[in-house]
Amino acid sequence: MIRGLPGVLARIDELRALIDDPTGAAQPKAAAAPAQITTTATTPSPLGVTQPGQFGALLSRAMDAQSATGAQSATGSEAAGVSWKTKYDDLVSRACERYGVDKRLVHAVIRAESNYNPRCVSHAGAMGLMQLMPENCKDYGVSDPFDPAQNIDGGVRHLKDMLDGQDTLALGLAAYNAGPGAVRRYGGIPPYRETQNYVNKITGWLAEG
């Protein structure tokens, strides 16, 4: 088994040599002087296979992806604990008092939206603890959606507007998740699996006490 980054780099050099000289005449470079990892962007084939000589870039991307995955896992694990909720409780309390929104509801929304990860970014571009879209940031004067104080303040204001514009809590949550236009278009909770799960999840948490 190849152990450690130097061993991996040495193996990459051996593979490069085999590709460049299939006859095996060329000798691989010594393990003591591994090649520097290149970070030049490459365009992979549909199967994700790069051309000879691009192993370094492939390894670099793989290492970056692994590091990102590890960071996300660590963040998710920490966010699931009480410490994250406690950390932001004061900001949530102040915003809820300021705008007249139920504190338990806001905590449930943050849990559903980002699981208390202030750096969370969705595939649609929603950002931060309460997953504000760029247009929400503009509407509520949020200059940095990754700043917990700004995100919670803008998110609570946005949540209040969605609740005030609907007849029930469930419809207000659906509007927060899918947009008020979708709620109007379907005359209720939109038939989106994500939105329906979102509403059921939050109302279920609130019912648990």
Q: Which residues are catalytic?
A: 113
Structure tokens at 75: 């963040």
Structure tokens at 192: 């989106």
- Nearest CA-CA partner of 95 in 144, 135, 129: 129
CA dihedral 79, 83, 88, 90 (to 10 degrees): 160
Q: What angle in degrees, to the nearest 10, is found between the helix axes of 193-208 and 169-178?
A: 140
- Spacing of C-alpha 207 from chain mean position: 27
Q: Within 13 Å of residue 162, how many CA atoms lie on the same side as its CB?
A: 25
What is the rounded distance in angstroms from the CA atom of residue 110 to the CA atom of residue 162?
15
Residues 197, 191: contact at Cβ < 8 Å?
no
